[in-house]
């Protein structure tokens, strides 16, 4: 029975595996920085950096050139890991947790860097935003995966805004010493599934006084304005928002988990134990989306 059409040639469910696999590999986003405050001092946590993004379709992370599709064989196991999002920075005070790496075969995307806690943001796939209680720089991103976080700016305890986490297509914005948090950097849009979807937005920086930073498009969580940060969206690699506080304490937002999407022609894929995933057909391709776990995939 005739199935989908590729380059004008009909193929059916029995079409042999084509051997070429396009991919989107997004690592886990980082958590935003939390804050614990004593006295009248106000401080802000940096936004979490987005998970690094590597892709062969439409666009890839860090402003790089498209990745190259992999040539794979039937009957061979290939490792897949979907990186978890980083933990929220504690309301007792602390950096946002780094996101975990995502892997497909020989391709590794680096987890996002945690949002700063009274210090510079952490390095990662995309860098975490810098915190305040001083003017602290954002962490660096990874080449061809994501961008740096923004700098936190502070006005000696009167007001301040933390830096936004870096996104996979743009740097995080700097905070402002008037009390405005930096926005998270934007993510990358790809049409690997047949529809355009954006992944890897940075978390917004925390604020006290004016406005917290918004999360970057692609799942970034908003920062808190004298409040906790918002979590990044699951399966986007979005960073969590940083906390903004004055005399109370607040946690950052947790990072969003990553995702692995595979696009190929023909064959039958086996998604091994330990992985959560589904396969559909779109635009003449088989599309396998893996949303959690660690294990192997293979084709027949």
Residue 90 is assigned to a structural domain of this protein: yes
pLDDT at 4: 37
| Structure token digits, residue 198 | 């954006």
Between 149 and 248, the higher pLDDT residue: 149
Residue 274 is assigned to a structural domain of this protein: no
**What's the CA gap between 152 and 104, in Å, rounded?**
35
pLDDT at 108: 98
Residue range 7-27: mean pLDDT, rounded = 75
Residue range 192-215: mean pLDDT, rounded = 95
Residue range 74-96: mean pLDDT, rounded = 95
**What's the CA gap between 235 and 250, in Å, rounded?**
25
Q: How confident is the model at residue 201 (pLDDT cuts 50, 70, 90)?
A: very high
Assess whether pLDDT exceeds 80 at residue 249. Answer: yes
Q: How confident is the model at residue 37 (pLDDT cuts 50, 70, 90)?
A: confident
> Among 9-13, 70-74, 215-219, where is mean pLDDT lowest?
9-13
Highest mean pLDDT range out of 12-21, 155-164, 274-283?
A: 274-283
> Among 42-46, 157-161, 225-229, where is mean pLDDT lowest?
157-161
**What's the CA gap between 152 and 175, in Å, rounded?**
5
Residue 270 is assigned to a structural domain of this protein: no
Share of the chain above pLDDT 70, in %: 93
Rounded to 10 degrees, the C-alpha dihedral 55/59/60/66 comes to 70
Residue 283 is assigned to a structural domain of this protein: no
Total number of domains constituting the chain? 1
Between 38 and 178, the higher pLDDT residue: 178
192 in Cβ contact with 160 (< 8 Å):
no
Q: What is the pLDDT of residues 107-145, one digit of tens each?
A: 999 999 999 998 999 999 999 999 998 899 999 999 999
Q: How confident is the model at residue 39 (pLDDT cuts 50, 70, 90)?
A: low
Residue 57 is assigned to a structural domain of this protein: yes
Rounded to the nearest integer, the mean pLDDT of the chain is 92
Residue range 263-279: mean pLDDT, rounded = 96
Share of the chain above pLDDT 90, in %: 80
pLDDT at 183: 98
Residue 17 is assigned to a structural domain of this protein: no
Instruction: Note down the domain range covering 134.
Output: 24-264
**What's the CA gap between 200 and 167, in Å, rounded?**
6
Residue 256 is assigned to a structural domain of this protein: yes
Q: How confident is the model at residue 156 (pLDDT cuts 50, 70, 90)?
A: confident
**What's the CA gap between 53 and 238, in Å, rounded?**
11
Assess whether pLDDT exceeds 70 at residue 40. Answer: no
Residue 278 is assigned to a structural domain of this protein: no
pLDDT at 157: 65
């Amino acid at each position: 029975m005739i199935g989908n059409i590729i380059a004008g040639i009909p193929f059916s469910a029995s079409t042999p595996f084509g051997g070429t696999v396009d991919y989107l590999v997004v690592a886990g986003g980082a958590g935003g920085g939390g804050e614990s405050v004593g006295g009248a001092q106000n401080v802000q946590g940096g936004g979490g950096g987005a998970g690094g993004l590597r892709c062969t379709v439409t666009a890839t992370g860090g402003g790089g050139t498209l990745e190259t599709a992999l040539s794979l064989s039937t009957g061979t196991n290939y490792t897949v890991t979907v990186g978890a999002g980083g933990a929220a920075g504690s309301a007792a005070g602390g950096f946002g947790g780094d996101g975990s790496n995502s892997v497909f075969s020989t391709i590794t995307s680096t987890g996002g860097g945690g949002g700063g806690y009274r210090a510079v943001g952490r390095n990662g796939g995309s860098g975490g935003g810098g915190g305040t209680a001083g003017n602290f720089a954002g962490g660096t991103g990874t080449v061809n995966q994501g961008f740096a976080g923004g700098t936190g700016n502070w006005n000696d305890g009167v007001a301040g805004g933390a830096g936004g986490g870096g996104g996979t297509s743009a740097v995080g914005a700097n905070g402002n010493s008037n009390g405005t948090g930096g926005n998270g950097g934007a993510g990358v849009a790809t049409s690997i599934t047949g529809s355009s979807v954006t992944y890897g937005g940075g978390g917004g920086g925390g604020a006290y006084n004016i406005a917290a930073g918004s999360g970057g498009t692609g799942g970034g969580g908003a920062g808190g304005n004298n409040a906790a940060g918002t979590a990044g969206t699951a399966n986007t690699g979005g960073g969590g928002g940083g906390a903004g506080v004055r005399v109370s304490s607040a946690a950052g937002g947790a990072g969003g988990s990553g995702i692995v999407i595979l696009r190929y022609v023909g064959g039958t894929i086996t998604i091994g134990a330990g992985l959560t995933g589904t396969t559909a057909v779109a635009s003449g391709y088989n599309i396998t989306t893996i949303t959690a776990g660690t294990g192997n995939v293979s084709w027949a």
